[in-house]
A and B are shown apart, each in its own frame.
Chain A
Amino acid sequence: MSDSTRAEHSSDHSSEHSKSPLPGYFAVFIALLIGTGLTVFAATLDLGAFNAPVALGIATVKATLVALFFMHVYHASEKLTKLVVIGAIFFLLLLLGLTMTDYATRLWS
């Protein structure tokens, strides 16, 4: 019995380490640096009302890359971890979204 669990484990490990994660890490790193450059560049352009959405969009792509690959959410074996991440983002958006729909529509003020 212990042998079978051990065998399971070692096969688990070998599949985890069969290909190196390093190229992926460096690709994400380069993408994050490019994203930073892009944000700075986009801020110098006059996009009218779209300056803020573009800046926040790039930031969200960068944050997603960090969470998925550097924080290993993408490869998380525990589904509960993914649920906590999604739940946290959901409640943050609830806080920001509902507050701003209130403040942004107070036409009488």
Chain B
Amino acid sequence: MPDSTVAGLHHQEIQHPELLHHFATAEQQRNSASLGMWVFLATELMFFGGLFCAYLIYRHWYFADFAAASKSISMPLGATNTAVLICSSLTVVLAVWAAQTARRTLLLITLAATMLLGLTFLGIKGIEYRQKFVEHHVPGASFSFDHEEIPGHPGQYANPSHAQIFFSLYFVMTGLHALHMIIGLGIFLWLFLMAWNGRFSPEYHTPIEIGGLYWHFVDIVWIYLFPLLYLIDRHA
């Protein structure tokens, strides 16, 4: 009996201060945190899923008008932003790896690079939004989409009120995505400050993994938004 008490005390001694008492091991704690994040991401998937569903229905109904409206948003800017987000996903996995292998400088650099790439994405998004305001493609009283040809059908013009539905979906979907990017930037700033204060170690880096899961999810949403919004019927 006294033996087991000693073993118990010894066990307490070696455990990491971040290990909460209701978990048996650090690994169990990590797995629980990651599972909880995945459940949250499942709700996020349904959240965006509703918008994707609305998009699919209207695209099915007003395909030609959607194609004309899609052609008016900048494909090079959208493609650049896709590449920017893919680069940021790479810096995030490198950050997780740096935390796992106790490389503090690399961890700080990759976290900072992720934030920089996130800001680049939002900057490019801002340029795109500005163009839409200048062209009066923002849904509302000053919306105008007259005499815009339907791709592949010369002489046929898109119905402005149907095009307005495309732009409404464009702004809501990319806007909600941009909001997630802004929240992601806040999370990564917090992670950067924690890393700066030396809070992470190979034994404890759950926040970086969890924050990384969020960032990758936002990247995946964009992977679908890019072809759906920017690339309808580009060949004509």
Q: Is B153 an interface residue (CB 8 A)?
A: no
Instruction: Flag if B83 contacts A21 (CB, 8 Å).
Output: no
- What A residues does B39 contact at CB under 8 A? 84
Known: A1-B7, A40-B75. A84 touches B233 (CB 8 A): no
> Please, how many angstroms separate the alpha-carbon atoms of A100 and B10 in the complex?
60
Binding site for A on B (CB under 8 A): 4, 7, 10-11, 14, 25, 27, 31, 34-35, 38-39, 41-42, 45-46, 49-50, 52-53, 56-57, 60-61, 75, 79, 82-83, 86-87, 89-90, 92-94, 97, 100-101, 209, 212-213, 216-217, 219-220, 223-224, 226-228, 231-236
Partner of A40, one of B97, B217, B231: B231
Q: Is A11 an interface residue (CB 8 A)?
A: no
- Sample of 5 A–B contacts (CB below 8 Å): A56-B228, A63-B220, A77-B27, A81-B35, A103-B61
- What B residues does A47 contact at CB under 8 A? 235
6 closest Cβ contacts across the A-B interface? A88-B42, A55-B227, A43-B231, A43-B234, A78-B31, A46-B235
Instruction: Flag if A40 contacts B53 (CB, 8 Å).
Output: no
Q: Give min CB distance, B13 to chain A, whole Å.
A: 9
Known: A2-B11, A85-B38. A66 touches B223 (CB 8 A): yes
Instruction: Flag if A45 contacts B10 (CB, 8 Å).
Output: no
- What A residues does B75 contact at CB under 8 A? 40, 43
Q: Is A44 an interface residue (CB 8 A)?
A: yes
- What B residues does A6 contact at CB under 8 A? 14
Instruction: Flag if A84 contacts B35 (CB, 8 Å).
Output: yes
